[in-house]
Amino acid sequence: MLVIENLTRQYGDRRALDGVSLRIEPGSFVGVIGRSGAGKSTLLRLLNRLAEPTSGRILHGTTDVTALRGRRLRDWRARCAMIFQQFNLVGRLDVMTNVLMGRLSHVPSHRSLLRMWSEADRAMALAALDGFDMGQFAAIRADQLSGGQQQRVAIARALVQEPEIILADEPVASLDPRNTRLVMDALADVNKRYGITVVCNLHSLDLARAYCDRLVGLVAGRVVFDGRGFDLTEDVARRLYGLEAGEVLDDEPAAPALRPLPACPIREAAIGA
């Protein structure tokens, strides 16, 4: 269980995250939603300790994640893999080597420096690539792949890290609809098949509802919704997205209440009268 207690991050006079408390069950797929600047990336960065909280704590089992230093902090970072919007692969290296980078925390440093990967590491990397239909690209330079392919390689790299948690920060924000589905399916697969907890920032409520067991909605660094997608009412959506609500919901078949009401003959007649 990942327990977030009253987590706050202040930047100057701005609170990027403001007293957030959450309990995240192992194996869950949590979507973090909210408009730009709501604090979604800050939350993930704090969980991974890429940023330090101003106050509050993160606990994982009996470990106080916020107090980790040195080797134990590096171990924590290996246990919660990050996926970024811009994939963060090394473009000039081949796909296989990029995936093997995910093994770095598991091999002695002299071997990793010389890129002396064991057969077992290679087999694991290839299996991860094959799992996302990317094995055929193992020898290709990463910068020759499409965005969707690169993101699937990034997920394979995260997987060979053998993480307990994957933190995905808008993993599909740069992708077309087909690749969006492939990448979200890859994350769902990792979650369901290996029981890895996924915490995923998403701008689209549509996607969040389709893929996540639980949605956490942030407004100005605070949690204003925590529940299942279909429990998220139109009022909450408007609060979460403000003027952007139309943008994130218009193409959303699961939110018919936000579509313009069909013409009602009785009302029309009343207005006409």
Ligand X SMILES: Nc1ncnc2c1ncn2[C@@H]1O[C@H](COP(=O)(O)OP(=O)(O)OP(=O)(O)O)[C@@H](O)[C@H]1O
Residue 169: in which H helix or E strand, if any? Answer: strand 165-169
Query: What is the smallest separation between the CB atom of 24 and ligand X, expressed in angstroms?
Result: 18
Please report the DSSP string for 127-161 in residue order.
HHHHHTT-GGGTTSBGGGS-HHHHHHHHHHHHHHT
Considering only 39, 53, 102, 148, the residue that binds ligand X (CB under 6 A) is: 39
The three-state secondary structure class of 188 is helix
Q: Does 40 bind ligand X (CB under 6 A)?
A: yes
Which of Mg ion, ligand X, none is residue 11 near (CB under 5 to 8 Å by kind)? ligand X
**Helix ranges restricted to H, the chain:** 40-47, 70-79, 95-100, 109-113, 119-131, 147-160, 177-194, 205-211, 234-241, 245-249, 265-272
Nearest CB to ligand X, comparing residues 22 and 100: 22
CB of 43 to ligand X, least distance (A): 7
Choose the binding region for ligand X from 29-37, 153-161, 240-248, 254-262 (rule: CB under 6 A). 29-37
Q: Is 247 in the site for ligand X (CB under 6 A)?
A: no
Cβ contact 168:198 at 8 Å? yes
Residue 204 makes contact with Mg ion by CB under 5 A: no
42 binds Mg ion (CB under 5 A): no
Q: Of Mg ion, ligand X, none, which one sits near residue 109, judging by CB under 5 to 8 A according to partner kind? A: none
Which partner, Mg ion, ligand X, none, binds residue 214 by CB below 5 to 8 Å per kind?
none
> Which entry of ligand X, Mg ion, none binds 16, CB below 5 to 8 A by partner kind?
ligand X
Sheet (strand 2-11) strand order:
14-24, 2-11, 55-60, 63-64
Q: How far apart are CA 8 and CA 14, in angstroms?
A: 11
Contact between 171 and 183 (Cβ < 8 Å) = yes
Distance CA 208, CA 215 (A): 7
**Residue 216 near residue 226 (C-beta atoms within 8 A):** yes
Nearer to ligand X, 11 or 230 (CB): 11
Q: Which of residues 76-95 bind ligand X (CB under 6 A)?
A: none
Nearest approach in angstroms of CB 5 to ligand X is 19
Single out the residue of 18, 29, 39, 41 in contact with Mg ion (rule: CB under 5 A). 41
Contact 37, 45 (CB under 8 A): no
- Among positions 1, 6, 14, 246, the unique one binding ligand X when judged by CB under 6 A: 14
Residues that bind ligand X (CB under 6 A): 11, 14, 16, 34, 36-42
Chain residues that interact with Mg ion, rule: CB under 5 A: 40-41
